[in-house]
């Protein structure tokens, strides 16, 4: 396939719509989470493409995680993700920000996914995939990937694959934490079968998820880089009372249930 034909397969992105959606995503995370925190962000920021980021899929929030990471850590590349064609029809705005339709459970849909993904990768873009293909609790193993990622990995040529573990955990505050960890990058050797590639990719993501689980249980914010800080305190009359007390006593207001000085948008912690 010629480069010109490949470029036609890459879905167009509306820069204006993407900026608008990115602002919405940031506001959503600030409102609904205590913080978004990441480990080993340098494994992502060092990439220049072509790149496939694949993650576990436990929540409605997962696509927003990818938008936030792309915008805050690697904004210079084009970022894309597949979505069930019937679902995308209900959210047409997503088609303007890099989400491309795939017919699920059909040979035509599989070919469509491979064709579009390869074109994106050949253009130097990033493809984000949740290969489980459904919502799955992060404690459920084996991961049971659908065959699409393995098939793409063996057909895409010189491409890097990066596992991403995602958890949403309540620690000591009213709102939960979004916890993220990137694993080591992988490459699939020429001649590898799709089945073997899938097994390797599953094992890599499972290992990263286990590492993130250990970090989540430890509840140590200093082990993460804080990507985005969100709402603090209990809110309501109790939160107002703490603010009023701080005002009258002229002492700094302590909004958190547990003091956590690490909640800053650290630039040097990975």
pLDDT tens for 25-57 read 999 999 999 999 999 999 999 987 799 999 999
Give the phi and the psi of residue 39 in degrees, each rounded to 5.
Answer: -115, 140
Predicted pLDDT of residue 232: 77
Radius of gyration, CA atoms only, the chain: 20
Q: The dihedral of CA 90, 28, 163, 205: what is its sign?
A: negative
pLDDT > 70? residue 223 = yes
Helices within the chain (DSSP H only)? 3-9, 15-32, 42-45, 62-73, 85-90, 107-122, 148-155, 194-218, 236-249
Does any domain span residue 17?
A: yes
256, part of any domain: no
Q: How confident is the model at residue 258 (pLDDT cuts 50, 70, 90)?
A: low
Model pLDDT for residues 194-208, shown as the tens digit of each residue? 999 999 999 999 999
Q: Residue 227: give the domain boundaries.
A: 3-184+192-249
Amino acid 249: pLDDT: 55
Between CA 59 and CA 137 the distance in angstroms is 8
Closest CA to 78 of 124, 118, 37: 124
Instruction: Quote the pTM value.
Output: 0.85
Q: Tokens representing 209?
A: 């998820």
**Residue 194 CA neighbour count, 13 Å, CB half:** 11
* Number of domains present in the structure of the chain: 1
Q: Residue 37 pairs with which residues in a beta bridge?
A: 179, 226
Q: What is the enclosing helix (H) or strand (E) of 129?
A: strand 126-129
| Structural domain contains residue 264 | no
Of 80, 123, 122, whose CA–CA distance to 102 is shortest? 80
The sign of the torsion formed by the CA atoms of 27, 32, 35, 38 equals: negative
Residue 44: CATH number of its domain: 3.40.1130.10
What contacts 104, CB < 8 A, 6 or more positions away? 84, 85, 86, 133
**Position 233 confidence tier, pLDDT thresholds 50, 70, 90:** low
- Domain annotation covers residue 116: yes
Question: Is 261 a domain residue?
Answer: no
Q: What is the pLDDT of residue 270?
A: 44
CA distance linking residue 137 with residue 132, whole number of Å: 11
Phi-psi region of 66 (alpha: psi -120 to 50; beta: other; left: phi over 0): alpha
Identify whether 257 is part of a domain.
Answer: no
Asked whether residue 156 is domain-assigned, the answer is: yes
């Amino acid at each position: 396939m010629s480069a010109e034909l490949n470029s036609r397969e890459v879905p167009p992105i509306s820069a204006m719509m993407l900026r608008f959606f990115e602002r919405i995503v940031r506001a959503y995370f600030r409102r609904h989470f205590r913080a978004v925190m990441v480990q080993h962000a340098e494994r992502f920021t060092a990439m220049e493409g072509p790149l496939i980021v694949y993650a576990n899929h436990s929540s409605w929030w997962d696509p927003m995680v990818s938008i936030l990471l792309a915008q805050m850590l690697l904004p210079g590349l084009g970022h894309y993700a597949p979505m069930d064609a019937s679902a995308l029809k209900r959210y047409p705005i997503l088609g303007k920000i890099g989400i491309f339709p795939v017919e699920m459970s059909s040979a035509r849909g599989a070919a469509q996914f491979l064709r579009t993904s390869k074109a994106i990768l050949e253009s130097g873009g990033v493809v984000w995939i949740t290969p489980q293909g459904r919502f799955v609790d992060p404690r459920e193993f084996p991961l049971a990937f659908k065959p699409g990622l393995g098939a793409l990995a063996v057909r895409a040529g010189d491409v890097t694959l990066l596992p991403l573990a995602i958890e949403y955990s309540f620690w000591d505050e009213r709102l939960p934490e979004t916890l993220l960890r990137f694993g080591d990058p992988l490459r699939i050797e020429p001649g590898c079968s799709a089945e073997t590639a899938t097994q390797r990719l599953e094992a890599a993501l499972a290992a990263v998820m286990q590492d993130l689980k250990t970090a989540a249980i430890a509840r140590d914010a200093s082990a993460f880089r804080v990507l985005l800080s969100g709402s603090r305190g209990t809110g309501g009359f109790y939160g107002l009372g703490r603010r009023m007390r701080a005002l009258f006593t002229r002492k700094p207001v302590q909004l958190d249930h547990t003091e956590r000085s690490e909640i800053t948008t650290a630039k040097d912690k990975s």
